[in-house]
């Protein structure tokens, strides 16, 4: 095991390794093993395409400062005992020797802590997944990230089919313990994303949604984040699919956009107490809330890292009502400006 390890900015604060003030507190400790990935993902500051340009301390828009591993482990023990940290997630950067370090860290964490351990690593050998579970891991995330073969080849530089098969095989052998990641806003349509989500749901794989986030120094640094209406429609549809209350075949698409989810789905969205508040929370492993991984404090909230305030829930309900109504009428609803005011006007329309 390495003498030093990177931890996310928010994790460092919770563990008392830094004194930074947080707008939202992570309930999962995020650790990063490895640096300067061998893969060429165009959105990632750790990739070969970003080498020499992006900040090597970053993953997504988050800075991961480096600390002594033993100090981090001691602080983790205390934080877990106090209930401040309810899960540990290891982010594996695919650099030489990383996987052995990850396996050793999983075992050490499992022996020292009482909280579950998750590992996120690139889809590949099933033997690595078996080894993680043998060492004490609770869940494994195998990020697909991109929704279609063409986009995958262009953005990640690999074989979409092989990566997806690795995820499905892992889920077949370890049902209920495999997750994947899907980044929205890389050029896919809502239909592309939701057909993939349905395939994952049918295979027992949990899909964690991420909003594309441009990071300085990456090839996609100038690309915009996805429209909020697109992200919200995918969020609520994913939640309905995982609850077995919607299938992608129930959705009417027009030019790749979802324009009708069906009456049964709409009743759940607008009549079931707490559905919207739950659907818009950060998705993924239990107790993983990833504060501001895709957002800036005070900006548009793609994934809420905490329970929604009553006002926020009313606004989001109104926004979804307007999106669904305007899409059914064939209108466009891509603007994110004046979001709160628009939601207030529409809060009672459904």
How do the domains of the chain map onto residue ranges?
4-346
- Cβ burial 54-71 (10 Å sphere, 16+ → b, else e): bebbbbbbbebeebebee
Alpha carbon 203 to chain centroid distance? Answer: 19
Comparing 32-36, 160-164, 297-301, 337-341, which segment has the lowest mean pLDDT?
Answer: 337-341
Rounded average pLDDT over 192-198: 98
Q: Average pLDDT of 64-92?
A: 95
CA 76: distance to chain centroid? 23
Identify the band that residue 52 occupies on the pLDDT scale cut at 50, 70 and 90.
low
Q: What is the pLDDT of residue 195?
A: 98
- Between 22 and 290, residue with greater pLDDT: 290
Measured CA to CA, the distance from residue 274 to residue 315 in angstroms comes to 14
Q: How confident is the model at residue 59 (pLDDT cuts 50, 70, 90)?
A: confident
CA distance 333 to 324: 9
Lowest mean pLDDT of 4-8, 120-124, 137-141, 328-332, name the range. 328-332
Percent helix / strand / coil, the chain, rounded to 5: 40, 15, 45
Position 1 scores a pLDDT of: 60
How do strand 178-184 and strand 139-141 relate by DSSP bridges? parallel
User: For the residues 29-50, what does the mean pLDDT come to?
Assistant: 86
End-to-end CA, the chain? 55
- pLDDT band of residue 342 (cuts 50, 70, 90) is very low
Q: 199 CB contacts (<8 Å, ≥6 apart)?
A: none
Q: CA torsion sign, 202 to 116 to 290 to 5?
A: negative
What local confidence, expressed as pLDDT, does residue 132 receive?
97
- The pLDDT tens digits of the residues spanning 81-97 come to 999 999 999 999 888 88
Q: Is 52 helix (H, G, I), strand (E, B) or coil?
A: coil
Q: Over the stretch 100-158, which tens digit does the pLDDT of each residue have?
A: 999 999 999 999 999 999 999 999 889 999 999 999 999 999 999 999 999 999 999 98
Rg (CA), the chain: 20
Pairwise CA distance, residues 38 & 81, whole Å: 37
Arithmetic mean of pLDDT, 272-282: 95
Element (H, E) at 210: strand 206-211
Domain 4-346, CATH: 3.20.20.70
Phi, psi of 180 (to 5 degrees): -135, 165
């Amino acid at each position: 095991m390495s003498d030093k390890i990177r931890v996310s900015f928010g994790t460092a604060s919770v563990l008392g390794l830094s004194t930074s003030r947080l707008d939202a507190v992570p309930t999962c400790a995020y650790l990063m093993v490895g640096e300067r990935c061998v893969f060429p993902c165009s959105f990632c500051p750790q990739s070969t395409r970003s080498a020499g340009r992006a900040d090597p301390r970053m993953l997504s828009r988050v800075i991961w400062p480096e600390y002594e591993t033993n100090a981090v482990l001691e602080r983790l023990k205390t934080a877990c005992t106090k209930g401040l940290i309810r899960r540990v997630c290891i982010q594996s950067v695919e650099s030489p020797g990383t996987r052995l370090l990850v396996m050793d860290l999983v075992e050490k964490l499992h022996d020292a802590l009482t909280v579950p351990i998750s590992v996120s690593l690139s889809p590949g050998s099933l033997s690595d997944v078996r080894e993680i579970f043998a060492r004490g891991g609770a869940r494994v995330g195998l990020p697909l990230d991109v929704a279609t073969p063409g986009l995958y080849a262009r953005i990640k530089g690999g074989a979409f089919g092989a990566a997806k098969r690795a995820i499905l095989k892992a889920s077949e052998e370890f049902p209920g313990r495999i997750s994947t990641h899907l980044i929205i806003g890389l050029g896919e349509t809502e239909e592309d994303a939701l057909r993939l989500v349905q395939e994952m749901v049918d295979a027992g794989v949990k899909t964690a949604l991420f909003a594309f986030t441009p990071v300085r120094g990456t090839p996609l640094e100038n690309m915009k984040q996805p429209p909020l209406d697109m992200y919200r429609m995918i969020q609520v549809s994913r939640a309905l699919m995982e609850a077995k209350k919607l299938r992608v075949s129930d959705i009417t698409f027009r030019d790749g956009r979802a324009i009708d989810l069906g009456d049964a789905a709409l009743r759940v969205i607008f009549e079931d107490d707490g559905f919207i508040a739950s659907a818009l929370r950060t998705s993924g492993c239990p107790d993983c809330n990833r504060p501001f991984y895709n957002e800036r404090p005070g900006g548009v909230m793609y994934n809420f890292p905490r329970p929604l305030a009553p006002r926020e829930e009313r606004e989001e309900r109104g926004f979804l009502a307007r999106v669904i109504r305007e899409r059914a009428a064939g209108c466009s609803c891509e603007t994110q400006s004046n979001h709160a005011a628009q939601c207030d006007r529409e809060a009672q329309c459904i």
